[in-house]
């Protein structure tokens, strides 16, 4: 097409779509799902309720929520053949790679979820993935720990059942812990959507070719894996553990983070949109205090994190660049307290983000958005003639 093409690296100044799902204001640190504040939802709602809200646009009444959960429970089996794919991975495999592969493999066992175009067909695919994805998440943890896979229990709540599949010890009665389930539920709500972030943009662009929901989600999981995005929650804990090993020398890591020749960044800090505190980080920081306090856990890593935050908030380099803690800075400390291994942190982010990815994919498909296909500015060689191999210098 004619006219100037302007390049916008990382789409820092490009809007990809109009959306009615999530509103965030980076200056004021505001985050709302379908108009409801994240503070209220984290405090008063359940994760499954928030999933319904994000996907269908309204908070469900009791009957709608009960039917939604019933429809999900009806789809909670994962084909036994899928275990062959899980078994094929070495124990050392990163859970995010296993999860994106298993999510893509689900397509082969759920053909009805591929070419969905009507709202009814979409609903079928949505409840199927909301039912099966948590099973795959639990599988990645059981594999990592060398534990037998555990089947869900339809009598439990949605998040409670996920916790059971992840943590029920073989030949022991599963005892659910209200405090743990509430902490997990809150964390998942806080991760549920975040407008056009890297992984959501990936889900939208793959979905825009009508590749189907599961294929789009598998691509989104891969995008989330990166340490600059969801992978940061794992990188934060690795950084805090390195600082602890270094005798708590936060100054050394602050210097590294500011050194242009050093690729190291202060993980869990900074954000493309938030130029103030990430509202989720505030809630998670308080939740970390509450959960560790209630569980009687005195984790030195939490103190190191707080010390690092304090230093960074007073450091000119960070102040000038408006770098604040983001959603990933404290979340790992709670996951650790809940017994979730560091390598599984980004899988927990994916579990939380699942409803947001689904909501954004559904909105994109219902609006019949065109296939995503940006242009470029060519800066390569001009036209030139082929030279036979024997004639090349």
Q: Residues in the site for ligand SDX, rule: CB under 6 A? A: 10, 194, 197, 228-230, 232, 257, 265-272, 321, 323, 326-328
> Is residue 210 flagged as an active site residue?
no
191 CB-near residues (< 8 Å, 6+ apart): 280, 327, 331, 348, 349, 351, 352, 353, 356
Both structure tokens of 346: 């980004």
Supply φ then ψ for residue 112, to 5 degrees: -70, -15
What are the strands, taking DSSP E only, across 26-76?
Answer: 30-33, 36-37
Structure tokens at 85: 């794919």
Backbone angles phi, psi at 75, to 5 degrees: -115, 15
Taking the least distance from each CB to ligand SDX, the nearer of 154 and 259 is 259
- Sheet with 36-37, strands from edge to edge, namely 22-25, 30-33, 36-37
Is 35 within 8 Å of 26 (Cβ atoms)? no
From residue 199, alpha-carbon distances to 15, 46, 358, 390 in Å are 15, 24, 12, 47
What's the sign of the alpha-carbon dihedral 44, 224, 319, 11? Answer: negative
Nearest to ligand SDX of 142, 265 (CB atom): 265
Q: Which is nearer to ligand SDX, 95 or 230 (CB)?
A: 230
Instruction: Answer yes or no: 77 catalytic.
Output: no
Q: Which is nearer to ligand SDX, 22 or 161 (CB)?
A: 22
Looking at beta carbons, which pairs linking 377-383 to residues 24 or more positions away fall under 8 Å? 377/5, 377/7
Query: Which residue in the list 79, 271, 290, 299 is annotated as catalytic?
Result: 271
Q: Which two tokens stand for residue 220?
A: 């989104």
Q: For ligand SDX, which is the closer residue by CB, 167 or 269?
A: 269
- Is residue 167 within 8 Å of residue 173, measured between CB atoms? no
The β-bridge relationship of strands 36-37 and 22-25 is: unpaired
Q: By beta-carbon distance, which residue lies closest to ligand SDX?
A: 270
Contact between 200 and 356 under an 8 Å Cβ cutoff? The reply is yes
Smallest distance, Å, CB 33 to ligand SDX?
12
Nearer to ligand SDX, 74 or 228 (CB): 228
User: Catalytic positions, please?
Assistant: 271, 328
């Amino acid at each position: 097409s004619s006219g100037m093409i302007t390049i916008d690296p990382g789409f820092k100044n490009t809007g990809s779509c109009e959306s009615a799902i999530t509103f965030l204001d980076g200056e004021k640190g505001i985050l709302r799902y379908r108009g409801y504040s994240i503070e209220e939802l984290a405090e008063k709602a359940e994760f499954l309720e928030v999933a319904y809200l994000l996907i269908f646009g309204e908070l469900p009444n009791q009957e709608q929520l009960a039917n939604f959960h019933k429809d999900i429970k009806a789809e909670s089996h994962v084909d036994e053949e899928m275990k062959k794919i899980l078994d094929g991975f070495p124990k050392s495999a990163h859970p995010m790679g296993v999860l994106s592969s298993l999510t893509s493999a689900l397509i082969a066992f759920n053909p009805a979820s591929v070419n969905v175009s009507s709202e009814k067909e979409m609903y079928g695919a949505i409840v199927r993935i909301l039912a099966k994805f948590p099973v795959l998440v639990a599988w990645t943890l059981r594999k990592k720990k060398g534990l037998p896979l555990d089947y869900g229990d339809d009598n439990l709540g949605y998040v409670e059942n996920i916790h059971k599949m992840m943590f029920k010890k073989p030949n022991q009665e599963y005892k659910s812990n209200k405090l743990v389930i509430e902490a997990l539920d809150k964390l998942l709500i806080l991760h549920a959507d975040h407008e056009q972030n890297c992984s959501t943009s990936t889900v939208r662009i793959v979905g825009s070719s009508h590749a189907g929901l599961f294929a789009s989600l598998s691509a989104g999981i891969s995008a989330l894996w990166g340490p600059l995005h969801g992978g940061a929650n794992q990188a934060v804990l690795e950084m805090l553990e390195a600082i602890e090993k270094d005798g708590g020398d936060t100054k050394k890591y602050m210097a590294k983070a500011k050194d242009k020749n050093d690729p190291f960044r202060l993980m869990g800090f900074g954000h493309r949109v938030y130029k103030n505190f990430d509202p989720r980080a505030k809630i998670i920081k308080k939740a970390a205090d509450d959960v560790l306090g209630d569980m009687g856990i005195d984790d030195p890593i939490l103190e190191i994190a707080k010390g690092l935050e304090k230093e960074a908030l007073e450091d000119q380099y960070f102040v000038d660049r408006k770098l604040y803690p983001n959603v990933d800075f404290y979340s790992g400390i709670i996951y650790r307290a809940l017994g979730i291994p560091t390598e599984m942190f980004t899988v927990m982010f994916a579990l939380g983000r699942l409803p947001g990815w689904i909501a954004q994919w559904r909105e994109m498909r219902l609006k019949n958005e065109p296939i995503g296909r940006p242009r470029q500015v060519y800066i390569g060689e001009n036209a030139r003639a082929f030279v036979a191999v024997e004639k090349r210098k």
